[in-house]
Amino acid sequence: MLSYRATLDVPIATVRTISGWLTAHRRAYDIRPHQRACTTWGQAVLVLRWLKDGTDVRTLARDAGISQATGYRYLHEALEVVAQRSPEITDVLDRLRRDGEPFVCLDGTLVRTDRVAARTQASNHLWYSGKHRAFGGNVQVLTDHTGFPVWTAPVEPGSTHDITAARTHALPALYRAASLGLPTLADKGYTGAGIGIKVPAKNPHPDPDTRWRNELISSMRAPAERANALIKHFKALKHVTLDPRSITTIAAAALVILTLHKGIW
């Protein structure tokens, strides 16, 4: 078997931080933390390779010198440990408000999955998005005014509309933030979301004032599209072959790593 060198596009500091989290986790929950088949550094590299490059678990396990079953177990464990570091939406909004953020943006993205058999009460595919014509999970993403993602919501089935997912996971906290001076900008899919959620007006023949307002909102929230691109930069989120409910953990872990790279923590 031929060996060769490879480079992972991740700062050493990120690997060191995740390895430290895994070490603390093992010491807290393992009976024999020093008898693992793989070091915490190796486990950190394993999860980062899976997230960044979408490397299959069989290859990751082989490179780490562990079985495929152990590779899956280490992967899920590391994802959970990293995802637990993701912030709550209320904490994020409080920090942004203290930092003088002028507004936040809310947008939804579809994380594609394999075909899922689950159906709605009307016998439609639960995880199928008619908007995107694909199976996947709906993830709501909150960004700062520059378009950097600051929070991801738990996944909802792909058939869930953006405004429905937002009502479940985001709007209560956003209403409170708006009352304190931090409004939210969103697209027309969130029309009717409520006070403090600014969306372009739906009008086929808008007057000049309405047209100017729509253009202003659209231009101010345009950087929010960057957030979905940053998250989808992780190849593991381009197409998920695991349980679709695991998208919640994967997206949260990706957010934590992006935040580490930016140096907020």
Tell me the pairing of strands 156-157 and 104-112.
Answer: unpaired
Q: Say how far apart CA 78 and CA 62 lie, in whole Å.
A: 17
Q: Say how far apart CA 135 and CA 113 lie, in whole Å.
A: 6
CA-derived radius of gyration, the chain: 20
243 with 72: CB under 8 angstroms? no
The torsion angles phi and psi of 176, rounded to 5 degrees, stand at: -60, -45
pLDDT at 240: 95
Amino acid at 120: T
Q: Say how far apart CA 99 and CA 85 lie, in whole Å.
A: 21
DSSP-derived letter for residue 129 is: E
C-alpha angle with apex 247: 245 to 251, nearest 5 degrees?
150
pLDDT at 265: 44
- CA 140 to each of CA 126, 204, 217, 252: distance values in angstroms, whole numbers, following the listed order: 17, 27, 19, 11
pLDDT at 5: 75
149 with 227: CB under 8 angstroms? yes
Residue listed under structure tokens 């780490």: 64
Amino acid at 1: M
* pLDDT digit string (tens) for the chain, length 265 residues: 677 777 888 899 999 999 999 999 999 988 776 778 899 999 999 999 999 999 999 999 999 999 999 999 999 999 999 999 999 999 999 999 999 999 999 999 999 999 988 898 888 899 999 999 999 999 999 999 999 999 999 999 999 999 999 999 999 999 999 999 999 999 999 999 999 999 999 888 888 888 999 899 989 988 888 898 999 999 999 999 999 999 999 999 999 999 998 864 4
N-term to C-term CA, the chain:
41
Residue listed under structure tokens 């440990």: 81
CA–chain centroid gap for 187, Å, is 19
Global pTM value: 0.92
Q: Say how far apart CA 37 and CA 255 lie, in whole Å.
A: 28
